[in-house]
A = this chain, B = another copy of it.
Amino acid sequence: MTLKNKLSEHRKEIGFSQDKLAEKLGVSRQTIISIEKGRYNPSLPLAMIMAELFETKVENIFFLEEKDYK
């Protein structure tokens, strides 16, 4: 199951580099790159910390694809 996401859009909106975001979130830069590129999904806690940082809900950053679960 792969999700789509708007991580890079949200990141740029607050003027963060991948490096800076990684540090802020307490993960590696590789992790940010991989998630932005859709190579894998973040863990739930990481997604929630992102939502907090961006002052939004998880559902506004990550999106389920209809076909995948129906």
Contacts and interface: CB of A to CB of B under 8 A. Distances in A.
A59 B64 contact: no
Contacts of A22: none
A15 interface: no
A59 B47 CA distance: 11
B26 A48 contact: no
Interface residues of A, number: 22
Q: Which of A26, A59, A68 has the most CB of B within 10 A?
A: A59
Contact of A62 (B3, B42, B48): B48
B43 A64 contact: no
B59 A45 contact: no
Contact of A43 (B1, B48, B68): B1
